[in-house]
Amino acid sequence: MIDTTTKRLALFNFWIAFGSFALASVFGMYQVLERSGLLKFIQSPAVYFASVSTHGVLMAFVLTTFFIMGFGYYTATTSLKTPIWNPVLAWAGYAVSLTGVVLAAIPLLLGKASVLYTFYPPIQANVLFYIGATLLVVGSWFWTVIMIVMFNQWKKAHPGETVPLPMFATTTNAYLWAWTSVGVALESVFQLLPWSLGLVDTIDVGLARTLFAWTLHPIVYFWLIPAYIALYTYVPIAAGGKLFSDKLARVAFLLILVFGLPIGFHHLYMDPQQSNIAKFGHMVGTFAVALPTLLTGFTVIASLEMAGRKRGGKGLFGWIGALPWQNPMVLAAILSLLMLVLGGFGGMVNASYAMNAMVHNTAWVPGHFHLIFAGTVVTMYLAVAYHLWPKLCGKQLFSNDLALTQLWTWFVGMAIMTTPWHVLGLLGMPRRISSVQYNSLLTLAWEPYELLMIIGGLVLLGSAGLFVYILFKTQTEGVVDASITEEAAIVADAPVSSWLNNFIPWNLLILGLMMLSYGWPILQFFVLKTYNPTAWGY
Ligand code: HAS
Ligand code: CU
């Protein structure tokens, strides 16, 4: 049985995650309406930017971090078959992160932190926002430590054995997060906090953007890995088959860890501070990091095909129809992979320097990340919730049909909303605008797409509401079912090499790659005359 502490920790973390998700969906709806310019009385740039900032912070940082912590605690206890190491620390981390969210929410909602989720200077937020964001990250480090300790304790107690895949992947994510968060932590402690406290008059925005880029790319893989854990460990079983290859899965997670980190400058292609050589290096790495996703697509689809054929599917594509589409986990996987095709394609366009010049800072970019994050990743979070809620509450899922409807509407809504954004980006619409101040043939061409985006937003809001309703009903009114079992044990199908069961060599490799990719790009701000005023003699 899953012990009560784990259940509580998971549910408490998940409710913050999904509560934020529902709230952020309401803000999202307001934004598409405001942006369309159809309803004059809600037109307000001040409210719009406060809303987008809150929406972005809730979706990108609160939903993800709390979901990942809750899922991590669940995965660690169920796959290692041990209770959480140091639950006091786990609750302390929860409290620190939650305090951070509350502190950041105050200026966000008051319009005093309308700095968007990337909080790039020189736009400045109230100091409470930076303190809150820092605490959210500090609280998550408690989780990181717990995951790494549990991984090592298990290995010590089981010499020569292979750590189960779900925990191996969770620990990969813990290391990834440890490395990822350093960039923004440095920016926060040495630049944003002193600046917003008035201790320094000015900060170097180029350095701030460089440090943020350190975090901005790998953080998207921190969000993605739990979705991949579900794709690798839950989906094959839910489809009635087994994982095609445990080893390939481990290789994919390690490649994400190593290649995901040193490539953040694809967010800075159009910024002047970094050299072409540094940008080129990061670009090569960006193409390399598509590899583990292609591996994932291959392994998961192969697992689905094996399951479909086992269920009697024949011919080249007959296995697709034979899959249990009525299982929320399987349906979510199919929809999620479909969105990954186009979202990943958009990523490849962004990553190509010349094409980036065309789409950078246009509506294309939110199109890309809504499709791949809110689409591919969040769809798997939703499926994980449907999978875990019965186990955490000991009750049957309130309604399987409603869960399927919810997943379909999330997919359809996301398709309706993000397709126009991609087109609008190509038609030149900037991202991060509240309204268009000029009328011309160009903006006339935008109008039909703006309407579509409202329809998409409405469908998504309804879908998010339905999701929270299903979870709430399951927890409060679901049929108590003692037969609901805990997670099936997932063990490696064959012993794996110690390279795939150990993080030391990979961390050393990352250290080398990070020094290579960020060493000089950061150091130059302190050494070169261009950036360092003291070098000019004042
Ligand atoms: Fe991205 C901007 C490049 C993946 C999130 N990205 C963003 C931003 C966010 C974000 C939030 O190079 C905006 C940041 C901001 O606010 O400024 N991204 C990439 C690349 C990938 C990628 C190369 N992004 C993600 C993921 C995210 C995410 C994952 C969230 C979770 N992204 C960029 C770049 C920018 C950027 C630039 C900066 C743009 C700018 O100028 O500002 C890759 O990891 C993608 C690899 C994926 C593939 C797809 C393979 C397809 C598979 C599916 C197979 C399925 C089949 C169908 C065949 C190559 C594996 C099966 C069907 C059945 C029925 C079973
Ligand atoms: Cu990126």
Report pLDDT for 498: 83
Longest dimension (CA), the chain: 78
Q: Give 366-370's long-range contacts (Cβ < 8 A, gap of 24+).
A: 366/421, 366/431, 367/418, 367/419, 367/420, 367/421, 367/422, 367/424, 367/425, 368/343, 368/422, 369/220, 369/343, 370/414, 370/417, 370/418, 370/421
User: At residue 430, what are phi and psi to the nearest 5 degrees?
Assistant: -65, 155
From first to last of its 538 residues, what are the pLDDT tens digits of the chain?
Answer: 689 999 999 999 999 999 999 999 999 999 999 988 888 889 899 999 999 999 999 999 999 999 999 999 999 999 999 999 999 999 999 999 999 999 999 999 999 999 999 999 999 999 999 999 999 999 999 999 999 999 999 999 999 899 999 999 999 999 999 999 999 999 999 999 999 999 999 999 999 999 999 999 999 999 999 999 999 999 999 999 999 999 999 999 999 999 999 999 999 999 999 999 999 999 999 999 999 999 999 999 999 999 999 999 999 999 999 999 999 999 999 999 999 999 999 999 999 999 999 999 999 999 999 999 999 999 999 999 999 999 999 999 999 999 999 999 999 999 999 999 999 999 999 999 887 766 677 777 888 888 899 999 999 999 999 999 999 999 999 889 877 876 766 666 667 888 888 899 999 999 999 999 999 999 999 998 777 777 666 5
Q: Whose CA is nearest to atom 55 of ligand 1?
A: 337
Proximal ligand: closest to the CA of 351: 1
Q: How far is the CA of 344 from the centre of ligand 1 (A)?
A: 4
Distance CA 96, CA 99 (A): 5
180, 258, 275 from 174: Cα distances, Å: 10, 13, 31
pLDDT of residue 490: 67
128 lines ligand 1 (CB under 6 A): no
Q: Which atom of ligand 1 is nearest to the CA of 300?
A: 65
Q: What is the model's pLDDT at position 20?
A: 98
Q: What is the pLDDT of residues 388-408, one digit of tens each?
A: 999 999 999 999 999 999 999
> Amino acid identity, residue 496?
V
Pure H helices in 234-275 = 235-238, 246-260
The residue whose CB lies within 8 Å of the most ligand 1 atoms, and thus the one to mutate among 270, 293, 381, is: 293
Q: Report CA(494)–ligand 2 centroid distance (Å).
A: 34
Query: How many angstroms separate the first and last alpha carbons of the chain?
Result: 67
351 exposure class (CB count in 10 Å sphere: 0-12, 13-18, 19+):
buried
Cis ω before 272 (30° cut-off from 0): no
Name the amino acid, one letter, at 462: G
| Pocket of ligand 1 contains residue 6 by CB under 6 Å | no
222 in contact with ligand 1, CB cutoff 6 A: no
> Which of 369, 373, 414, 431 most suits a substitution to test ligand 1, by most atoms within 8 Å of the C-beta?
369
Residues with catalytic roles: 217, 221, 368-370, 431-432
- Cα 368–chain centre separation: 13
**Pocket of ligand 1 contains residue 348 by CB under 6 Å:** yes
The CB of 347 under 6 Å from ligand 1? The reply is yes
Catalogue all structural domains in the chain, each as residue range(s) with its CATH number: 4-484+491-527 (1.20.210.10)
Q: Which of 53, 248, 267 to mutate to test the pocket of ligand 1 (most atoms within 8 A of CB)?
A: 267
Ligand 1 contact via 369 beta carbon (within 6 Å):
yes
DSSP state of 396: -
Ligand located closest to 220 CA: 1
Is the beta carbon of 337 within 6 A of some atom in ligand 1? yes
CA distance 533 to 538: 6
In this structure, which residue's CA is closest to atom 10 in ligand 1? Answer: 369
